[in-house]
Structure 1
């Protein structure tokens, strides 16, 4: 009986606040407040409040909530252990291993396509090069790092 009275008082107070809000020309907020304030009286009318009041004072119901809470905590604990043991670390190691293999095979993939043929070498007088560090490098190795990056991104 006490719970029903409290819910009715909360609903009346909420409708009063909604009326004041509507008086201030904030109709959308007033409608939202009115909707929230009608929920407690609706719960009283459907009997949910009586059921909750009987549940709140029942030791059996509280024991059931404790059992449900323990089950939930066990589920979360096993889930976190499972993720830590099998999930993210294993996937990270596999991804790192795959990245190392891609980096190791990418420069070799830029070699000659046919096993018997040597790659074509340009003339020794490369006039297009302006940096001193790239003059001594072989023309085959100039673009190997670029090819590795493109292959890494699937291009």
Structure 2
């Protein structure tokens, strides 16, 4: 059974329309990004602004795609309960301590917040310390190694 992530049919339709519009905007912007302005600094500033717009569009497209894809609904022991602490080592060598929080919760000041239904949270679910996970980012797939996975007390 495919999860809809709790989206109503009207919300799903609205998100699908928004996604289509965003993709059209991104496609229209793409040919202009390759332009190499030989003009003044204003032309170069315009190119930088278009690149920032493209980046924002890419992030929103990825966000909506994830929402429409849905995710595993918390219904088993393998899902990540709120308060689970996780330490990840990313492919660039950086290490980050995080805590799983609910949508309305806030993380401890010392730990980064991570929701269980985010692409990274969904990738962690069902894994254990020592596993390497793959998750989706706006720039493509990324990997991380789970160094610590501690459920709440």
- Shorter-chain-normalised TM-score: which range? under 0.3
Q: TM-score, normalised by structure 1?
A: 0.24
Q: State which structure, 1 or 2, has the greater radius of gyration over its C-alpha atoms.
A: 1
Which is strand-richer, 1 or 2? Answer: 2
- The two structures have a TM-score, normalised by structure 2, of 0.24
**Structure with greater helix share of residues:** 1
